[in-house]
Amino acid sequence: MIDESLMLDANGIHMHATTTGQGPVVLLLHGFPDTHIVWRKQIPVLAQAGFRVLAPDLRGYGRTDAPPHVLDYTLDKIRADILGLLDALKIDKVSIVGHDWGGILGWQLASMVPQRVERLVVLSTGHPKAIAHAGILQQLRMAYIPLFCMPGIAEATLRAADWFALRQFTSEPGQADFWKRDLGPPGRLTAALNYYRANLKLALPQSYPRVKVPVMGIWSDRDPALGEKQMRDSAHYVDGEFRFERIRDADHWLQLTAHERVNALLLDFLGAKRSTV
């Protein structure tokens, strides 16, 4: 099994990624406040199943560059990073697994550049239009976002009392220590929060091409930020196959706290496609 750490030039920044295994490429896209490390329970399983697993640190995270300005973090730039990474590695087409902001990026890539996407799996995050139209209860779930958009105040709140607030995010042992380590260096926490500050327009209905690739949405019933409706309603924006899966007794970081169930679903959905080629 090939396991390699890469530093590549993509879209004008230095981007870090790991690549593991050989075979059809599965691209893993993390969200806030993670790095590629959040996929540590998926990478070996997918690689062992015959996939090449590509797991980057997105702009601002991990070992990838963190540009200084809020508008450096608009989703059009981050999408360009990902496509630049694939181009640098001469990868034409991937299956995408995205979580949180990585899920939003997955929806956008599948919609806007479908020729580069084989299949899409989204964890937690439904289609952006489904989130926007999910109603007042979903808006209440996301009431933390205005705080995240307050420069200085958000950083101070998250760092307070040895990152106490961050430690409440997940029940996964040791995960908060990764967050503290990776967000601690100067500028890194601000870079992560800039995803919210640069993309507030996502709260408004957007015009996206309909998604034509097969999609599986996986939602966990202990996710405080994202409700079931926004994931189920994502089917309205997909032409063709849309598969919904609910995982019980798992928090927002279901790839960690329910990894065995998530991995089984990934192998089934991604493997079904492989068996036909």
Give the domain CATH number at 115.
3.40.50.1820
Q: pLDDT, tens digit, for every residue of 231-247?
A: 999 999 999 899 999 99
Residues marked active site are found at: 100, 196, 252
Angle (CA) 7-86-123 rounded to 5° is: 100
**What mean pLDDT comes out for the span 20-34?**
97
Question: Residue 2: what pLDDT?
Answer: 63
Indicate the burial class of 77 (C-beta count within 10 angstroms; 0-12, 13-18, 19 or more): middle
**27 phi/psi in degrees, rounded to 5:** -100, 120
Question: Residue 1: what pLDDT?
Answer: 63
Dist CA 202 CA 130 (whole Å): 11
CA atoms within 13 A on the CB side of 109: 32
Indicate whether 229 pLDDT > 80.
yes
Structure confidence at residue 200 as a pLDDT band (50, 70, 90)? confident
- b/e burial code for range 101-137 (CB count within 10 A of at least 16 → b): bbbbbbbbbbbeebebbbbbbbbbbbbbbbbbebeee
Number of C-beta neighbours around residue 79 at 10 A: 17
Q: Which single residue is written with the structure tokens 């079904």? A: 272
The answer to whether 47 and 270 have CB atoms below 8 angstroms apart is: no
Dist CA 33 CA 166 (whole Å): 9
Cβ neighbors of 264 (< 8 A, separation 6 or more) are none
Q: Which domain holds residue 94?
A: 3-274
Indicate whether 202 pLDDT > 90.
no
**What mean pLDDT comes out for the span 76-81?**
97
Question: Residue 276: what pLDDT?
Answer: 35
Percent of the chain beyond pLDDT 90? 92
Indicate whether 56 pLDDT > 90.
yes
Q: What is the mean pLDDT of the chain?
A: 94
The answer to whether 111 and 91 have CB atoms below 8 angstroms apart is: no
**What mean pLDDT comes out for the span 221-235?**
97
Q: Are strands 13-20 and 3-10 parallel, antiparallel or unpaired?
A: antiparallel
Indicate the burial class of 60 (C-beta count within 10 angstroms; 0-12, 13-18, 19 or more): buried
Q: pLDDT, tens digit, for every residue of 148-195?
A: 999 999 999 999 999 999 999 999 999 999 999 999 999 999 999 999
Question: Residue 274: what pLDDT?
Answer: 44
Indicate the burial class of 180 (C-beta count within 10 angstroms; 0-12, 13-18, 19 or more): middle
* 0.85 exceeded by pTM: yes
Indicate the burial class of 274 (C-beta count within 10 angstroms; 0-12, 13-18, 19 or more): middle
> What is the domain count for the chain?
1
- What length is written for the chain? 277
Percent of the chain beyond pLDDT 70? 95
